[in-house]
Structure 1
């Protein structure tokens, strides 16, 4: 019974940690179209780059507000 309780606790901790990591938003720019968008995963493709000094936002609303203030995103 004790091992069961410890196992359940370990699963709960791992699940919580995975959920906490999923709240990251990035403002990225497509290098060919020069269009800015918001993504929830750090881009790995060479066709997009993170703009705004690589700032990571914790909510989509923050990312949208940040994108409006980035000159590279407002001029296109």
Structure 2
């Protein structure tokens, strides 16, 4: 809580509160950086996991039925 500086007539914040505010601000900035990094990693992961539909069709058409199921399950799990 700011205290009144009698000499200058202005409010002055005690040093301990200034430090606490700096720490909270630093924590908020760090949390924002972490959140942005998570979003970026998630976006990259989504881009990397996309398999073109033509490739899936070509792979599954040239394989036996059990192999098609395996390919489809792998492709589906990569997209999730």
Question: What is the TM-score with the length of structure 2 in the denominator?
Answer: 0.37
Higher fraction of strand: 1
Higher fraction of helix: 2
Larger radius of gyration: 2
Question: What is the TM-score with the length of structure 1 in the denominator?
Answer: 0.39
